[in-house]
Amino acid sequence: MKNAPLRISGLSVAYQKKPVLRDIALEVPEGKLIGIIGPNGAGKSTLIKAALGLVPRLSGEVAIYGRPYAEQRKLIGYVPQRESVDWDFPTNALDVVMMGRYGHLGWFRRPGANERRIAMECLAKVGMADYADRQISQLSGGQQQRVFLARALAQDAQLYFMDEPFVGVDAATEKAIIALLNELKAQGKTVLVVHHDLATVKEYFDWVVLLNVELIQAGPTADVFTAANLQRTYGGRLAILERNDHETGIGAR
């Protein structure tokens, strides 16, 4: 049987002895847009970082297409949570996108015209071609987010992790990003997205991972994204609303 893009078993993570993820087991299917959903502090970012080897694990295994992360770097694109990035770092938008190409270059090769062309194409795809030379500190939040998305596109990965890509972007940009993610999906790529707007989950994602320190449930959105499971995920912090203006029927405050 084909290896799953991401398979996690027995994963536990703690920061200073405080458990943040407990015994997570998860296998995600290929070619889907997958939402990672849970309250603040649920461990969503930590789950991604643990999968990418960016934080130490107490226990557990992570396999990317059947192999450890270190062997699969080239298959992975990562868009970190915006607030975790140093936006004052003196670099322009094009250089940020070019960084996405480093995995494709040998050690001693410097990016040349071809890498530059690819990076420019990716900036154009997110509507940021005119900002190629702009310092990233001088971009708006939504523009910064789009530059990071362009970098992920430049990576030409198979499996993408995006941590809250819609935070700080306007509605038009959110639509544009979702359209791009659907394009990636149409190419058979797998995209995991940390997302906190429950009202758009059914519209955006084929599959969801409900997380709150423990894995509550994961699977097709229609089966898993239920009021009962959300109550288990959010506990008392969730207000279940009857929303006639939206097909989901479920919202959060």
Ligand X SMILES: Nc1ncnc2c1ncn2[C@@H]1O[C@H](COP(=O)(O)OP(=O)(O)O)[C@@H](O)[C@H]1O
Give the interface with ligand X as residue ranges (CB under 6 A): 15-16, 20, 38, 40-46
Using CB distances below 5 to 8 A depending on partner kind, what does residue 221 bind out of Mg ion, ligand X, none? none
Give least dist CB 231 to ligand X, A. Answer: 18
Using CB distances below 5 to 8 A depending on partner kind, what does residue 46 bind out of Mg ion, ligand X, none? ligand X
Phi, psi of 232 (to 5 degrees): -65, -35
Residues 6+ apart with CB under 8 A from 71: none
Give least dist CB 183 to ligand X, A. Answer: 26
The residue (of 110 and 253) whose beta carbon lies closer to ligand X is 253
Give least dist CB 194 to Mg ion, A. Answer: 6
- The four Cα atoms 44, 84, 99, 182 give a dihedral, to 10 degrees, of 40
The residue (of 49 and 101) whose beta carbon lies closer to ligand X is 49
| In 126-207, alpha helices (H) | 141-155, 171-186, 201-204
Residues 6+ apart with CB under 8 A from 46: 13, 15, 20, 21, 55
Q: Are 181 and 191 in contact (CB under 8 A)?
A: yes
Residue-wise burial string across 48-71, b where 16 or more C-beta atoms lie within 10 A, e elsewhere: bbbbbeebebbebebbbbeeebee
The residue (of 18 and 110) whose beta carbon lies closer to ligand X is 18
Using CB distances below 5 to 8 A depending on partner kind, what does residue 143 bind out of Mg ion, ligand X, none? none
The residue (of 81 and 226) whose beta carbon lies closer to Mg ion is 81
Give least dist CB 24 to ligand X, A. Answer: 12
Give least dist CB 224 to Mg ion, A. Answer: 20
Q: Are 5 and 65 in contact (CB under 8 A)?
A: yes
Report d(CA 109, CA 102) in Å as an integer: 9
> Which positions touch Mg ion (CB under 5 A)?
44-45
The residue (of 20 and 33) whose beta carbon lies closer to ligand X is 20
Using CB distances below 5 to 8 A depending on partner kind, what does residue 176 bind out of ligand X, Mg ion, none? none
